[in-house]
Amino acid sequence: MEKPAIEGGSPIRETFLPYGTQWIDEAEINEVIEVLKSNWITTGPKMRLFEENFKEFRGSKHAVAVNSGTAALHVAASSIEINPGDEVITTPLTFVASANCVVYRGGTPVLADINKESYNIDPKEIRKKITPKTKAIIPVHFTGQPCEMDEILEIAEDHDLKIIEDAAHAIDAEYKGKKIGNISDMTIFSFHPVKNITTAEGGMVTTNDDDLYERLLMYRTHGITRDAEKRFGKSGGYEYDMQYLGYRYNLSELHAALGIHQLKKLDSFQRRRREIVKIYDRELQSINEITIPYRIPDIKHSWHLYVIQIDTQNLKVDRDHIFNALREENIGVNVHYIPVHYHSFYQKNFGYKIGMLPNVEWLFPRILSIPIFPKMNDEDVYDVINAIEKIITYYRK
């Protein structure tokens, strides 16, 4: 990337402000220390309590904790038997994990273009991509804004498809009054440190389907029928049967202990995210070159990310230049995401090319994620706004 042109002078901030980061306090630290001092540190009662709390929070019948959002996608794709020859439709504007889970199973991820306003997968584009091989849809609630689930559920019903919602960004989101995590076959969540709550690394799958639940449990631990605790405890025998080729994705007690506390703090975290959104909306909409995030009606947004769109027509430089200039101001902007079909792996192995998805390709050079996380104080928020104003003013034609 080119070097930004604002040279000399002092940056808006002296210290770097990341685009997102965790907030861990003494209560969580002490809880993790207690677990370390106990004689059970792998999967056990804390993980089950975390699952109980999570399913209550989302109103789902079941919740299965795993050790990353990626693992959650992988066990979900496995539980519906995505296999070689199967196609699964997802969005190009996502972290590669949403598509990779299909490839892990030997299936083919098929990319359906986004809606240029909401940035979510466009249900009309999903319909165009359906073939006799289509087995499932993975809609991603990008930035925390739910996809148009009524339309997606209807498509799934019409074509007998399964749905795995990727709610890595959408922990407390709602669609028309319904909680995300309780709408379709399965929903996955991520607890990576930049996400709305964290377990350091971790993920969850929710479902209301008893059969899928049993399969998720099996795929989480090698496809074997008995969990480790029973085998290692006094009361357990040695017998177990491996029925599927499963994985090793269970969450440890250390991570679960963090999750239990983080979930209790989610409301206060989200309140702060929404306050930051209000300030950004108010202050940024007066800058002509910036489009603030569009909201579809009748949803609750989780605001994992705040993505602005930059109209570079009136600027002397492109988005990458603005990105670098803001980084020089110590503002940790980011770009979410490089579309899936831009990656060499997908070009080499699936023949995807730039040119195949016009909406996301139009959007990609315009988007910029600006910092949003609960620990940001108002001064941090205004540093971001002032830096954006400074850079845009400097590069205006």
Ligand X SMILES: Cc1ncc(COP(=O)(O)O)c(C=O)c1O
Residue closer to ligand X by CB (options 60, 120) is: 120
Q: Is the dihedral of CA 289, 292, 294, 297 positive or negative?
A: negative
Strand order in the sheet with 367-370: 290-291, 306-310, 367-370
- Tell me how far, at minimum, the Cβ of 39 lies from ligand X, in Å: 28
Instruction: Determine which residue in the list 166, 174, 185, 328 makes contact with ligand X, applying CB under 6 A.
Output: 166
Residue closer to ligand X by CB (options 94, 118) is: 94
Tell me the CA end-to-end span of the chain in Å, nearest whole number.
21
Does 165 engage in binding with ligand X (CB under 6 A)? no
CA proximity to 220, closest of 67, 99, 98, 62: 67
Does 367 engage in binding with ligand X (CB under 6 A)? no
Is residue 116 within 8 A of residue 359, CB to CB? The reply is: yes
Does 67 engage in binding with ligand X (CB under 6 A)? no
How far, in whole angstroms, is CA 267 from its chain's centroid? Answer: 18
Does 75 engage in binding with ligand X (CB under 6 A)? no
- Tell me how far, at minimum, the Cβ of 381 lies from ligand X, in Å: 23
Amino acid at 159: H
Question: Which parts of 273-332 are beta strand (E)?
Answer: 290-291, 299-300, 306-310
Instruction: Determine which residue in the list 140, 161, 326, 387 makes contact with ligand X, applying CB under 6 A.
Output: 140
- Tell me how far, at minimum, the Cβ of 237 lies from ligand X, in Å: 35
Does 64 engage in binding with ligand X (CB under 6 A)? no
**Which tokens hold the place of 77?**
């794709």
Residue 375: how many other CB atoms lie within 10 Å:
11
Interface residues for ligand X in 181-200 (CB under 6 A)? 190, 192
Instruction: Determine which residue in the list 43, 70, 120, 199 makes contact with ligand X, applying CB under 6 A.
Output: 70
Does 20 engage in binding with ligand X (CB under 6 A)? no
Instruction: Determine which residue in the list 114, 168, 180, 367 makes contact with ligand X, applying CB under 6 A.
Output: 168
Is residue 134 within 8 A of residue 113, CB to CB? The reply is: no
Is residue 156 within 8 A of residue 137, CB to CB? The reply is: yes
Give the interface segment with ligand X, choosing from 52-60, 164-172, 236-244, 262-270 (CB under 6 A): 164-172
Nearest-CB residue for ligand X: 69
Give the interface segment with ligand X, choosing from 161-169, 174-182, 207-215, 248-256 (CB under 6 A): 161-169
CB under 8 Å to 270, separation ≥6 — which residues?
A: 172, 196, 302, 303, 374
Q: How far apart are CA 73 and CA 90, in angstroms?
A: 12
CA proximity to 313, closest of 222, 225, 396: 396
Does 221 engage in binding with ligand X (CB under 6 A)? no
- Tell me how far, at minimum, the Cβ of 379 lies from ligand X, in Å: 28
Residue closer to ligand X by CB (options 182, 199) is: 199
Catalytic residue, chosen from 55, 179, 195, 300, is: 195
Interface residues for ligand X in 293-332 (CB under 6 A)? none
Interface residues for ligand X in 94-113 (CB under 6 A)? 94-95, 97-98
Is residue 253 within 8 A of residue 44, CB to CB? The reply is: yes
Give the interface segment with ligand X, choosing from 62-70, 311-319, 354-362, 367-375 (CB under 6 A): 62-70
Residue closer to ligand X by CB (options 231, 248) is: 248
46 among known catalytic residues: no
Q: Phi, psi (5° rounding) for residue 225?
A: -85, -10
For ligand X, the binding residues (CB under 6 A) are 68-70, 94-95, 97-98, 140, 166, 168-169, 190, 192, 203
Q: Please give the positions annotated as active site.
A: 195
